Structure 1
Amino acid sequence: MESGRVRETDADRNADPGAGASMRTTCAIVGGGPAGLVLGLLLARAGVQVTVLEKHADFLRDFRGDTVHPTTLGLLDDLGLFDRFDALPHSRISQVVLPGPAGQDVQMADFSRLRVRHPYVAMVPQWDLLDLIADAAAAEPSFTLRTRHDVTGVIRDGDRVVGVEYSSPTGNGRLLADLTVACDGRWSVVRRTVGLPARQFPVGFDVWWYRVNTAQPLGESLLPRIGKGRVAIAIPRRGYVQVAALGRKGTDAAVRRRGIEAFRADTAQLLPELAGDVDGIASMDDVKHLDVRLDRLRRWYAPGVLCIGDAAHAMSPVGGVGINLAVQDAVAAARIVANPLRRGTFRGAARDGERVLARVQRRRTMPTILIQALQRFIHARLIMPALSSRGVTPPRRLIRLIRRLPGLTVIPAFIIGVGPRPEKAPTWARRAASTSTT
């Protein structure tokens, strides 16, 4: 597959007119991540003219969130895309295990107990998922994806956003739109330019992502490792393990000063089954630092513009729920804004359009608050004590209860894998469900 190519269906209408000129669409989506592409696909299937602007040339950026949760797997099924997804190289996580007392691991979440079509978390490189969705959207006549189009600001008509400005290989340009949706992540240009206020939550740790090539089988369990003020989570993949090492915020420079040999030794100590493979971490350039943020906008919208996904609520990597939450935002937004976009509501009175956008925020605020509250609890009760070299294990009463009633492991599995207020694909976006063997 040619990753990240421009997908056009009407060359006369959609061709980039070059420097200084303007294009027009009904809905401009800024950012070609999971939220942006899912929203683009759904709106295109509703017959809305939609243009997605992605600043990179393709989707090949490692160490993005790669978890695809049961709810998202079900959505792919409803959109007729599951068979194509299932054919991608991926691994499956069926359990989450925490270290218990006396060296005995404790199963805390069991996805196989979920009564859903796909009771597991799929681990797949995000670029494969994005290519799949982009190709499905390209089959819709009203969809356009423009890569190497870096949005630099918004266009206003009074207090209303009526499009975006961008830079591209052909020069600077403008894309006018009835509605602009920001899906450009936690550092969203649109969010910053519009000036939407956010509530920030303190986070005391960052994450260092890297991969270890290995032939060692790690099974289908996600097992955090804790030791001497360090925490690592090993995510099994085909042919390698993706590792998330957690450490105190503000220590990236110190981690790099210690050098690759010390880093390899830390990895071998926390993940002894990978000790023979750590030399494959060539240099500290292979270790990517993620500045963990947790926030959410107080208001997700303004006249002519809406923020969803990380642009509306930056999530911690805990639980890997960020992608699932962003995709659910996109499904809810598509269902709510599709008909108003077709009717031209966002070209009319500003209040009419704002009332529609307010419905999106009302629909998705509760799930966001609940998931962020859970993440903050885990930060305070598990991660920060572990990074302070204090022993961290699940409470003994909880361990005894789970061992007596193992069916309780479905509760955290539901919270992580399905989440509060799961969204269903709109009827007009569905296609014949693919056959599943799971």
Structure 2
Amino acid sequence: MAGSARCVVVGGGPAGMVLGLLLARAGVEVTVLEKHSDFLRDFRGDTVHPSTLTLLDELGLGGWFAALPHSRLDRVALAGEDGRTMTVADLSRLKVPHPYIAMAPQWDLLDLLADAGARVPSFDLRMRHEVTGLLREGGRVSGVGYRTADGAEGTLRAGLVVAADGRWSTVRRSAGLRPASFPITFDAWWFRLPRHPHETGDGLVPRMAPGRFAAVIPRIDYYQIALLAPKGEDLRRLGVEGLRQNVARVCPELADRVDHLASTDDVSFLDVRMDRLRRWHTEGLLCVGDAAHAMSPVGGIGINLAVQDSVAAAALLARPLLRGGVTASELAAVRARRLAPVMAAQSMQRALHRAVIGPVMQGRRGAPPRALTGLLDRVPALTAAPAHVLGVGIRPEHAPAFARRPPLPPRAATGRRSG
């Protein structure tokens, strides 16, 4: 079977869903292809930063998001060598409508975007459609080949294909685009432990011990934890008891509940990568989000950079798509607009890797540098700058006029999307 569409977006993550929704609201015929049958993947990027919360308001979706169960983080802190907790990024200082990071399961955000897209006639979301390759005509990408869950194969022609299918992008690889990688010395192992009702606090305070680093994120009724380990070290080989001991060593305040880790199957592995394409496009194809620039999990900024890529792409490409075609120079303009924010975010992450995480992982330090904590102790106002980079970015994108809507009426409960 075959079909046609003005724009095909590959990948139903935040970048793909936002781009599909915005282009559809401009009147562009958009098909979003997602290979899974639902959005239920645990330990995906669950951080929704102030810039994305503002975008949801502009799209008329702020009320929908506010109704979702979520927790809030208003500061990022580090524990010093003397045991004191030092705030390094105080989001409450930001002069924005939402001066905090919202923590919500990514599947809830994606369901929300899918429901908003379903209200637009030109938006077509197809679950269980795995892209298998690219179509080409006259030296340019002209569509995709796909396979459905029941094994049926088909093609879908498009004036533009957008790769929003993540750091292991099938589309990027098929297009022959190769990213330049930065050295990363650690991987992340994600799991959750109970949060007791009397435990308060809305801050992210990483824990450190020589050779181990853990990010403990407070959620509504549990802690979401990333335990870092040197790249190549498989923590599952320690067995569940060895894993519990590692957690108790770096997070002694959670030692009373490590038995909730019943087996190593309770731990999810993230192969941490950081890379960036030198070129984000080829004729008829554009890469955005992790397909263009994989981020470290530090700061949880990857999802928000990906969303901002999509907003910029929609603003720049909606009119060319409506007139019938997108040129190479128009595709290149997306990278030109988004490159500086991406480079700044990756530079910040790499600096934190070198100054804080690296020495801890190498066993040379069990706390952040005294120079850093001392400076922040003397000049608390400095915490606003990293908060701005983390929560807003150096070039926040706002919804173009064609995509803005007044607040939409309350959304009916739809449950989790399953296909």
TM range (shorter): over 0.9
Structure 2: distance between partners of 1:433 and 1:419: 25
Distance 1:374 1:48, change over 3 A: same
Quick check: 1:154–1:163 contact (8 Å CA) kept in 2? yes
- Residues 205-231 of structure 1 deviation map (CA, whole Å, 9 limit, x = unaligned): 000011112325241010100113111
* Structure-2 residue corresponding to 1:239: 221
SS of the residue corresponding to residue 32 of structure 1 reads coil
* Structure-2 residue corresponding to 1:291: 271
Structure 2: distance between partners of 1:408 and 1:140: 44
Counting only pairs closer than 5 Å after superposition, residues 326-405 of structure 1 correspond to structure 2 as: 326-346=306-326, 353-405=327-379
Cα shift at 1:394: 4.0
Cα shift at 1:402: 2.4
Cα shift at 1:271: 2.1
Instruction: Give the aligned length.
Output: 407
Distance 1:398 1:270, change over 3 A: closer
Q: 2:180 aligns with which of 199, 214, 218?
A: 199
Counting only pairs closer than 5 Å after superposition, residues 396-435 of structure 1 correspond to structure 2 as: 396-433=370-407
SS of the residue corresponding to residue 153 of structure 1 reads strand
Structure 1: distance between partners of 2:111 and 2:164: 17
The answer to whether residue 109 in structure 2 is matched with residue 129 in structure 1 is yes
Cα shift at 1:419: 0.8
Letter in 2 for 1:69: H
Structure 2: distance between partners of 1:226 and 1:29: 40
Identical pairs, percent: 57
Letter in 2 for 1:220: D
Letter in 1 for 2:209: G
- Residues 128-176 of structure 1 deviation map (CA, whole Å, 9 limit, x = unaligned): 0110011101100000100000001000113100000000035011111
Letter in 1 for 2:122: S
Structure 2: distance between partners of 1:326 and 1:89: 23
Structure 1: distance between partners of 2:258 and 2:62: 35
SS of the residue corresponding to residue 409 of structure 1 reads helix
Structure 1: distance between partners of 2:366 and 2:337: 36
Structure 2: distance between partners of 1:263 and 1:361: 42
* Structure-2 residue corresponding to 1:142: 122
* Structure-1 residue corresponding to 2:413: none
* Structure-2 residue corresponding to 1:251: 233
Quick check: 2:81–2:366 contact (8 Å CA) kept in 1? no
- Residues 375-421 of structure 1 deviation map (CA, whole Å, 9 limit, x = unaligned): 11111111111011122544434434323332221111001001111
Structure 1: distance between partners of 2:192 and 2:369: 32
* Structure-1 residue corresponding to 2:412: none
Q: 1:215 aligns with which of 191, 196, 205?
A: 196
Letter in 1 for 2:405: R
Distance 1:362 1:302, change over 3 A: same
Question: Which moved further from structure 2: 389-398 or 72-81?
Answer: 389-398
Letter in 2 for 1:327: V
TM-score between the two structures when normalised by the length of structure 2: 0.95
Cα shift at 1:324: 0.6
Gaps of 5+ in 1: 1-20, 347-352
Quick check: 1:382–1:392 contact (8 Å CA) kept in 2? no
* Structure-2 residue corresponding to 1:18: none
Q: 1:73 aligns with which of 53, 73, 92?
A: 53
Cα shift at 1:238: 1.4
Structure 1: distance between partners of 2:296 and 2:372: 25
SS of the residue corresponding to residue 101 of structure 1 reads coil
* Structure-1 residue corresponding to 2:154: 173
Letter in 2 for 1:167: R
Letter in 1 for 2:228: L
Q: 1:273 aligns with which of 229, 232, 253?
A: 253
Structure 2: distance between partners of 1:401 and 1:193: 48
SS of the residue corresponding to residue 187 of structure 2 reads strand
Quick check: 2:5–2:156 contact (8 Å CA) kept in 1? yes
Question: Which moved further from structure 2: 255-264 or 388-397?
Answer: 388-397
